[in-house]
Structure formats: C-alpha cells, structure tokens
C-alpha cells in the first residue's frame, strides 16, 4: 500500500453513495409510475435496468475493465432514468434497444463513466423519439382498466408489452390520449386559445402536480419528483444551481409572454408542471458528468436549458423541449467550463491581480 500525499482524512463520500442516493430519490417517482401504469411500468423498469446492467457488464468484460464497476450504481441509474422517460406504451424491443444504446453508445464508447458528453438516458430517449415517433408519442391513458387492456392485470399487460396493441385487440386511439403540452400545441394551430384548449382538455393544475396526466412513466407526478429532488439538494448530492435557475428561467419566460398574450402563450405554472421539465431540472440536467463543474457555470447551464425548453415548446415542432434543451446544453458544457470560471481568491473578475 502506497500512501500518496495529504490529506489523510476523507469525508466518506463515494461514487456509489452518490449514485444510490439518486436512485433512492427516484423511488417515489417510480412508485407513482407503477400506480399509474401498473404492470407495464414494472416491465419497463425491470427491462431497462436489467439491460443496462447487462450491457455494462458485457462492455466491461470486452474492454477488460474491472467488472466490480458494475456495482458503482451508474448503470442501474441510467436504466432507471431511461425507464422514467419512456412512454408506457413502448414494447419490449424498444426498451432493450434504448438500454443498449444508452450504455454502449451513450456512455461506454466515450470512455465510460465520467467521459460521456451527453446524459446517456436522454441521448437514448432523443434517438428513440426520432427513430420510432409512433411509439414515442403514443401516451397510454393512465390507470387504464379496459376490457382488453387492464394495466393492473399481469397477463394482459404482458401480452401488450410483448405483442403490442394488436394482441389485446385494441387500436392505438382507444387506449391513448394526448399530453397537455401536445394537446395545447395542436389546438393552437387550429386557432383555439390556450385557455379554451386547457378547458377542453379538462386540465387541472392539482392533477398535474399530484400526477394524473398522460406522459412518460416518471413525468407524471411533480410532487414525487420534487420530494426526491429536494431531498437530494438537502443532502448536497445535487446543488441548487441548475434546478433553480432552470425552473426560474422557464417561469420567467413563460410569465413574460403569457402577460403579453395569454391566448397564445401558456401560463408559467402550466409550463413548470407539464411534461418532463421537473424530471429534467432535478435529475437529468444535474447529471454531474454532462453538466458544468462550477456553481456559476451551472447557473449559465440552467438558464440555457430554461430558454431552450421554452423556445422549443413554443416554436418547435415537438410539443416537449426539456430533454432536447438538456442535450443541447450538454454539448456546450466544455465551453462553459472553459470560459466561465469562478473568481479565484486574490484576483478581480477577469483575472488581473
């Protein structure tokens, strides 16, 4: 045993501890997803986590790395993230493809943990959205217990998961619905105002907060996500910089434009609770590897995510922009780290002594 230089005392923090804290923080959201989508959520969660771990193991073996790294929790976390950003309607092969893509191309080809440019789960999510738009934009009606597809019935869910809607003799239309974001976007193109669209949708802020709106598995409940996110902030696993600056930016942008024209621009609270914003702000954008290191860099990152999210939601082709925003900001993380540094002790800003 060679002892390098000081310090000779350590806080006891470790990668494992960090990763498992995030996993624990996501348990409420995962539980809500099981409540909303029954066995389908269970299948997706186990497939994504299992395949992530398997891929990680195979790659570690192939690259002759220490397979004990499998238990650092990062692959399991990627699998969990992935499941939470997938719609409940995706069949098994998409889940498998996504998990293999996330670990193999999203993470290991860059050099493994710590070297990936993008958040692996989000990268996989974006690839799926572009490659399989039908599956990725079909949102099952939460808590659906129809005659043919009962999400709380094991065998019915299993055949749906493996064979798709045909197996349960359903058309997509009968079991899916639009997300609030998607609905408002389509209605706006028809000349309907935001207020009318929300009324038609029977949108309720409380529902969106507790989590009964259609969406990806883990996006449902802002409440569950906030519980986990605030717990992570309290124990300093994530810092406040990104979530606060991200959410604040979205709220400010949405607020300003909503004041200008409430018929065209949705209100800030709607934006905050809709889609994957809270999940992205607390869990995706704060992925340490693909976000800036310094506090001030993180704020810039968060503001950038916020602006992009709002812009994509409002003017883009896709109704939801949160994950595109995070992926785009991931690209410029190295630039942020290079140009935006904290002020060093004894220097004025701009580096003169």
Partner 1 sequence: MFKLFDMLKGLGEQLHLKPQHSFTGGVHPQEMKKTAGLPSMTCPLPKQIILPMKQHIGDACEPMVKVGDYVLRGQQIAKSQGYLSVPVHASTSGTVTKIEDHVIAHPSGLGLPCIFIEPDGKDEADESLYPLPNYRSIDPVELRERVRSAGLAGLGGAAFPTFIKLVLDQQYKIETVVLNGIECEPWLTNDHQLMLEKAHEIVTGMDILMHMVDSNQGIIAIEDNKMDTVDVMQRTLVDMGLDASIRIEVLPTKYPQGGEKQLIQVLTGKEVPAGRLPIHIGILSQNVGTTKAIYDAVCLGEALTERMITVSGDALPQPTNMRVRLGTPVAWLLEQCGLSDADGIKVLHGGPMMGDILTDMRIPVVKASNGILAMRVVTLMLAHHQEDPCIRCGDCGDVCPAGLMPNLLAMHCKEEQFEKAEDYNLFDCIECGACSYVCPSHIPLVHYFRFGKGQVAQIRREKSFAEESRQRSEIRDARIAQELA
Min dist. Cβ of residue 182 to partner 1 (A): 34
Sign of CA dihedral 63, 68, 69, 74: positive
Min dist. Cβ of residue 312 to partner 1 (A): 26
C-beta atoms surrounding 240 within 10 Å? 17
Residue of 5, 23, 85, 81 lying closest to 237 (CA atoms)? 23
Q: Report the alpha-carbon distance of residue 138 to residue 148 in Å, rounded.
A: 18
Nearest CB to partner 1, comparing residues 164 and 288? 288
Q: Any residues with CB less than 8 A from the CB of 197 and at least 6 apart, and which?
A: 183, 184, 187, 188
Q: Any residues with CB less than 8 A from the CB of 185 and at least 6 apart, and which?
A: 313, 319
Min dist. Cβ of residue 293 to partner 1 (A): 4
Residue of 51, 116, 35, 49 lying closest to 77 (CA atoms)? 49
Min dist. Cβ of residue 115 to partner 1 (A): 7
Min dist. Cβ of residue 288 to partner 1 (A): 4
Nearest CB to partner 1, comparing residues 17 and 199? 17
Please give the DSSP secondary-structure letter assigned to residue 343: P
Nearest CB to partner 1, comparing residues 106 and 321? 106
Q: Report the alpha-carbon distance of residue 149 to residue 169 in Å, rounded.
A: 9
Nearest CB to partner 1, comparing residues 191 and 346? 346
Min dist. Cβ of residue 85 to partner 1 (A): 21
Cis ω before 7 (30° cut-off from 0):
yes
Min dist. Cβ of residue 183 to partner 1 (A): 38
Q: Report the alpha-carbon distance of residue 70 to residue 116 in Å, rounded.
A: 16
Q: Report the alpha-carbon distance of residue 214 to residue 307 in Å, rounded.
A: 24
Min dist. Cβ of residue 201 to partner 1 (A): 40
Q: What are phi and psi of 166, to 5 degrees?
A: -60, -40
Min dist. Cβ of residue 218 to partner 1 (A): 22
Footprint of partner 1 (CB under 8 A): 1, 3-15, 17-18, 72, 74, 112-115, 236, 239, 288-289, 291-295, 298, 337, 341-347, 353
Nearest CB to partner 1, comparing residues 72 and 187? 72
Q: Report the alpha-carbon distance of residue 287 to residue 158 in Å, rounded.
A: 33
Nearest CB to partner 1, comparing residues 56 and 320? 56
Per residue, what are the HEC states of 39-93? Answer: HHHHHHHHHHHHHHHHHHHHHHHHCCCCHHHHHHCHHHHHHHHHHHHCECCCCHH
Q: Give me the DSSP letters along 130-195.
A: HH-HHHHT-EEPTT-B-SS-BTTSHHHHHHHHHH-GGGGT--HHHHEE--HHHHHHHHHHTT--HH
């Amino acid at each position: 045993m060679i002892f390098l230089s000081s310090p000779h005392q350590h806080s006891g923090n470790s990668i494992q501890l960090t990763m498992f804290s995030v996993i624990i923080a996501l348990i409420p959201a995962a539980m809500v997803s099981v409540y909303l989508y029954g066995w389908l959520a269970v299948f997706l969660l186990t497939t994504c986590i299992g395949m992530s771990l398997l891929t990680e193991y195979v790659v570690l073996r192939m690259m002759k790395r220490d397979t004990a790294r499998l238990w650092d929790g990062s692959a399991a976390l990627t699998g969990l993230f992935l499941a939470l950003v997938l719609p409940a309607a995706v069949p098994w092969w998409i889940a498998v493809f996504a998990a293999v893509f996330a670990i193999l191309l999203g993470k290991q080809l860059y050099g493994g943990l710590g070297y990936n440019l993008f958040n692996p789960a989000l990268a996989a999510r974006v690839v799926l959205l572009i490659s399989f738009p039908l599956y990725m934009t079909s949102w099952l009606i939460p808590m659906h217990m129809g005659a043919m597809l009962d999400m709380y019935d094991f065998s019915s869910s299993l055949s749906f998961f493996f064979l798709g809607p045909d197996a349960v003799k359903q058309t997509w239309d009968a079991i899916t619905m639009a997300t609030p974001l998607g609905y408002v976007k389509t209605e706006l193109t028809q000349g309907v105002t935001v207020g009318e669209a929300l009324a038609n949708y029977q949108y309720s802020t409380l529902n969106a907060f507790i989590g009964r709106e259609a969406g990806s598995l883990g996006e449902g409940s802002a409440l569950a996500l906030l519980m986990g996110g605030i717990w992570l902030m309290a124990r300093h696993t994530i810092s406040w910089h990104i979530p606060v600056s991200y959410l604040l930016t979205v709220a400010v942008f949405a607020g300003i434009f909503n004041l200008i024209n409430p018929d065209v621009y949705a209100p800030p609270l709607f934006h905050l609770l809709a889609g994957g914003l809270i999940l992205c702000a607390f869990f995706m954008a704060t992925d340490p590897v693909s976000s800036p290191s310094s506090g001030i860099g993180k704020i810039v990152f968060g503001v950038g995510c916020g602006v992009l999210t709002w812009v994509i939601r409002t003017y883009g082709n896709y109704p939801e922009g949160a994950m595109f925003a995070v992926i785009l900001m991931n690209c410029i993380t190295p630039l942020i780290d290079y140009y935006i540094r904290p002020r060093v002790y004894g220097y004025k800003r701009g580096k003169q002594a």
